[in-house]
Amino acid sequence: MNGFLNINKAADMTSHDVINRVRKIFHTKKAGHAGTLDPFATGVLPVAVGRATKFIEYLADCDKSYRAEILFGVETSTGDITGEIVNRAECQLQSINAVDSVLNSFVGMIEQIPPKYSAIKINGRKAYELARKNIEFDLPSRQVTIYKLNLIDRTENTLIVDVDCSKGTYIRSLAVEIGRRLNNFATLKSLQRTRVGNFFIDDSITLEELQKVGESALIDVESCLDHIEKFDLPSYRRKAFLTGLSTRIDQNFIEGKIFRVYVDNEFIGVGKIVDGEIKSDKIFSL
């Protein structure tokens, strides 16, 4: 049992709760997830089982997509509806043209300050642990990229938007900033992750469905890594790759670049360019 699962996480459970359920269903301790979802959030949570757990890290750089509902008129301590209200004012959403203009202003590379209630480490401690103890600290801004930010629906005090973004983007922070640019307080009311790389919400299954279908839901590792460029290794260098030896290559690649490595059309692992040679980074083939 080696492969990935495209789990549709339900609300009010942690990502680790999902892993515990998967471990029980498959009777294995080897399971892990890529890209944590907050308990109140729903949607795509890639889960690795067996030898696939070694390859979770390669999903870290994948772009993601979300459907977010933003509530205006309140601002909370966490940036979402689960936090304590810290600011409140009568909501006055602007015209549709003004809203579109503000949304478009976020598209591209932006500076974003992560929410204090996040798992980012501050001097070895998670930010949310410090925030819960009312310890003052500052989080540095980071560069993230918003590829798409489209308005789907609106009411008197809410907007529903679809977001395509790079890794490291906090939709809670985005919701708060959208509110401020619209001269409002805002917080994230609901969030569904609709995509992580090649894991799409339409192909996902719930834990209840997984309980019924079991192993048939597993997706092979190489299919989940096809965002990584392929490299064909000569068959006579197979053993060298699997035993950690480097193979000299003719092409010039960027140092540290990674590849899906194949021998005779068989996926055998992920390789990395080291000193102009390709060397195994993670081995899949036994």
Q: Would you kindly state where each structural domain of the chain is located, as residue ranges?
A: 3-62+198-224, 64-195, 230-283
230-283 folds as 2.30.130
Would you say the CATH fold of 230-283 matches that of 64-195?
A: no
Q: Which of 12, 17, 38, 264 is catalytic?
A: 38
* Alpha-carbon span 155 to 109, nearest angstrom: 28
Query: What is the predicted pLDDT for the residue at 286?
Result: 61
Segment holding 241, helix H or strand E: helix 238-242
The closest of 286, 243, 242 to 261, measured between CA atoms, is: 242
Query: What is the predicted pLDDT for the residue at 255?
Result: 92
C-alpha to C-alpha distances, 164 to 28, 106, 113, 193, nearest whole angstrom = 34, 11, 18, 10
pLDDT in tens, 82-118: 999 999 998 878 788 899 999 999 999 999 988 777 7
Buried b (16+ CB within 10 A) or exposed e, 1-24: ebbbbbbbbeeebebeebbebbbe
DSSP state of 80: B
pLDDT in tens, 172-208: 999 999 999 999 999 999 999 999 999 999 999 999 9
Query: What is the predicted pLDDT for the residue at 110?
Result: 95
Query: What is the predicted pLDDT for the residue at 127?
Result: 77
Query: What is the predicted pLDDT for the residue at 279?
Result: 95
C-alpha to C-alpha distances, 238 to 63, 124, 156, 252, 286, nearest whole angstrom = 32, 41, 62, 21, 11
The closest of 54, 61, 59 to 2, measured between CA atoms, is: 54
* Alpha-carbon span 29 to 39, nearest angstrom: 22
* Alpha-carbon span 5 to 17, nearest angstrom: 15
* Alpha-carbon span 108 to 166, nearest angstrom: 10
- Architecture in CATH for domain 3-62+198-224: 2-Layer Sandwich (3.30)
* Alpha-carbon span 193 to 180, nearest angstrom: 23
pTM over 0.75: yes
Largest CA distance in the chain: 71
Query: What is the predicted pLDDT for the residue at 115?
Result: 78
DSSP string computed for 156-220: SSEEEEEEEE-TT--HHHHHHHHHHHTTS-EEEEEEEEEEETTEEGGG-B-HHHHHHHGGGG-B-
Residue keyed to tokens 């997984």: 210
Determine whether 232 is an active site residue: no
Segment holding 75, helix H or strand E: strand 74-76
The closest of 11, 10, 48 to 29, measured between CA atoms, is: 48
| Residues of the chain where predicted confidence (pLDDT) is lower than 50 | none
64-195 folds as Pseudouridine synthase (3.30.2350)
